[in-house]
Amino acid sequence: MYLRYSAILIMSLLSANLIPVFGDDYIPPTKQEQDLYKKLLTEFEKLDVQKRDVSDVLGTFEKPLVISFPCDSTDVNELVVSVIKTKLARFSEDPYHEGGVITGGTYTWKCTVTTSDGKITINCDNELKINSDFLMQDGERDPRIKKVENQIVIYHELLHGQLMIGAIKSSEEWRNDTCNKPPDGKIDYSYSDKTHKVINPLQQEFAAQLIEQTGGKMLVKEITVEETNDGAFTTKVGSLNDFPQFIKNGIRVSLRGTNLINTEFTSHDSDIFLSGNLANKTESGIAWLYIFGTAEEKQSISEQPAETKIHIPDWVKKNTSWWVDGTLSSTDFLKGIRYLVQQGIMSVPQIAKHQGIDKVPDWVKQNAAWWSEGKIDDKTFVTGIQYLISVGIISV
Ligand SMILES: [Zn+2]
């Protein structure tokens, strides 16, 4: 049993910039951003998870969504008309903020409001930006987590659009407030959830499902201002014993968080501790821990014998020389080898079985001959046997 903590990268999925001023500052997305968005959206639409329906906001990429409703006769205004469009725009923000906080994307409400003859028209030309450099970077990050995170970014940003559309469509409070705006009054865009009060729990639920589908577990830990010492904290986030299914091959813990900097994992006995600082000392931080078993992809035929202590009983060598000189049939020889594998003396490679090979290749027999004569070592001999298993000649 061993622990491996992956490199820690803090990602802030924040940023709903609310700029209720229309500017002619649209910059089209790069080809890379366009292609990436298309790919991520295709994946997003195929997901089999429970999530908030974001089809309204997705529709605004295709054609303007028009929502109009009459006000009460006693209201200041008579009619409210909203026209909402969204387009992909170039990610412009310097992705590296203070403390290494990185933004995965932004959804910006950009609306102009005009009032005439009791009619309020809210014309929104919204922009979605995705940080393609960040979303596409490989680094040392686990591809399983990477894929999930990119979907989280997409969902998160779409929610900034969807939640506001939801209010325009059906919030009595928003509708009443808007119907009573004086001509110079400010429209309330807070439903787009800049503070993530609604988005955070939705996003957590979404992420937990995706992480589980990928074979891991997600833990969420909130770090409140009170439990920090001027922003600094050390807190127990879990125990290795909570994840017996991962212990055999090692546990890998990755952290994503909001409002956290200088984070570091330590372990004491079987407890896992997280320490760090709140970036903004007056707000709580959230740590999401993705817990996976260490991937087994590192084991392969060529590497495995080196890691395995091999003790081959003497009778195997005798059998092998008989097989090589024809005294023993291949079937009986293979039976013996199968026994060896089943007893755990030889390890089985974790690779896909190939089909279509039904005969021991000559090179394996040649290896076996050399081995029985002491010309090659046990490790090389085992490589040949493992090949036989991998192609299905020996089934174990
Ligand atoms: Zn956000």
In a domain, 299, yes or no: no
In this structure, the answer to whether residues 207 and 223 fall within a common structural domain is: no
Residue span of the structural domain in which 352 resides: 304-390
Q: Structurally, how many domains does the chain consist of?
A: 3
Taking residues 268-291, report their average pLDDT: 87
In a domain, 395, yes or no: no
Instruction: Band the pLDDT of 386: cuts 50, 70, 90.
Output: confident
Report the CATH number at residue 284. 2.60.40
In a domain, 264, yes or no: yes
In this structure, the answer to whether residues 194 and 222 fall within a common structural domain is: no
In this structure, the answer to whether residues 270 and 383 fall within a common structural domain is: no
In the reported structure, the alpha carbon of residue 7 is separated from the centroid of ligand 1 by a whole-number distance in angstroms of 24
Taking residues 17-27, report their average pLDDT: 57
In the reported structure, the alpha carbon of residue 367 is separated from the centroid of ligand 1 by a whole-number distance in angstroms of 61
In this structure, the answer to whether residues 237 and 362 fall within a common structural domain is: no
296-312 confidence digits (pLDDT tens): 544 333 333 334 456 67
For the chain, percent of residues with pLDDT exceeding 90: 40
In this structure, the answer to whether residues 345 and 358 fall within a common structural domain is: yes
In a domain, 365, yes or no: yes
In the reported structure, the alpha carbon of residue 88 is separated from the centroid of ligand 1 by a whole-number distance in angstroms of 16
In this structure, the answer to whether residues 154 and 46 fall within a common structural domain is: yes
* Residues lying with their CB under 5 A of ligand 1, a single-atom ion: 14, 16
Res 345: pLDDT: 65
In the reported structure, the alpha carbon of residue 199 is separated from the centroid of ligand 1 by a whole-number distance in angstroms of 8
Q: What is the 3-state secondary structure (H, E, C) of the chain?
A: CCEEECCCCCEECCCCCECCCCCCCCCCCCHHHHHHHHHHHHHHHHCCCCCCCCHHHHHHHHCCEEEEEECCCCCCCCEEEEEEEEEEECCCCCCECHHHCEECEEEEECEEEEEECCEEEEEEEEEEEECHHHHHCCCCCCHHHHHHHHHHHHHHHHHHHHHHHHHHHHCHHHHHHHHCCCCCCCCCCHHHCCCCCCHHHHHHHHHHHHHHHCCCEEEEEEECHHHCECCEEEEEEEEHHHCHHHHCCCEEEEEEEECEEEEEEEEECCEEEEEEEECCCCCCEEEEEEEEECCCCCCCCCCHHHHCCCCCCHHHHHHHHHHHCCCCCHHHHHHHHHHHHHCCCCCCCCCCCCCCCCCCCHHHHHHHHHHHCCCCCHHHHHHHHHHHHHCCCCCC
In the reported structure, the alpha carbon of residue 228 is separated from the centroid of ligand 1 by a whole-number distance in angstroms of 24
Mean pLDDT for all residues in the chain: 81
Taking residues 61-66, report their average pLDDT: 98
In this structure, the answer to whether residues 159 and 20 fall within a common structural domain is: yes
In this structure, the answer to whether residues 70 and 22 fall within a common structural domain is: yes
177-222 confidence digits (pLDDT tens): 999 999 888 999 999 998 889 998 999 999 999 999 988 989 888 9
Among residues 211, 232, 265, which one ends one of the domains? 211
In this structure, the answer to whether residues 74 and 186 fall within a common structural domain is: yes
In a domain, 298, yes or no: no
Q: Is the pLDDT of residue 140 over 70?
A: no
Q: Is the pLDDT of residue 295 over 70?
A: no
Return the minimum-mean-pLDDT range out of 10-14, 282-286, 334-338. Answer: 10-14
In the reported structure, the alpha carbon of residue 196 is separated from the centroid of ligand 1 by a whole-number distance in angstroms of 6
Taking residues 304-328, report their average pLDDT: 70
Res 174: pLDDT: 97
Res 78: pLDDT: 96
Comparison of pLDDT for 163 and 356, the residue scoring more: 163
In the reported structure, the alpha carbon of residue 285 is separated from the centroid of ligand 1 by a whole-number distance in angstroms of 14
In a domain, 113, yes or no: yes
In this structure, the answer to whether residues 77 and 162 fall within a common structural domain is: yes
In the reported structure, the alpha carbon of residue 168 is separated from the centroid of ligand 1 by a whole-number distance in angstroms of 19
Q: Is the pLDDT of residue 352 over 70?
A: no
In the reported structure, the alpha carbon of residue 14 is separated from the centroid of ligand 1 by a whole-number distance in angstroms of 4
Q: Is the pLDDT of residue 394 over 80?
A: no
Res 296: pLDDT: 53
In this structure, the answer to whether residues 336 and 360 fall within a common structural domain is: yes
In this structure, the answer to whether residues 104 and 224 fall within a common structural domain is: no
In a domain, 236, yes or no: yes
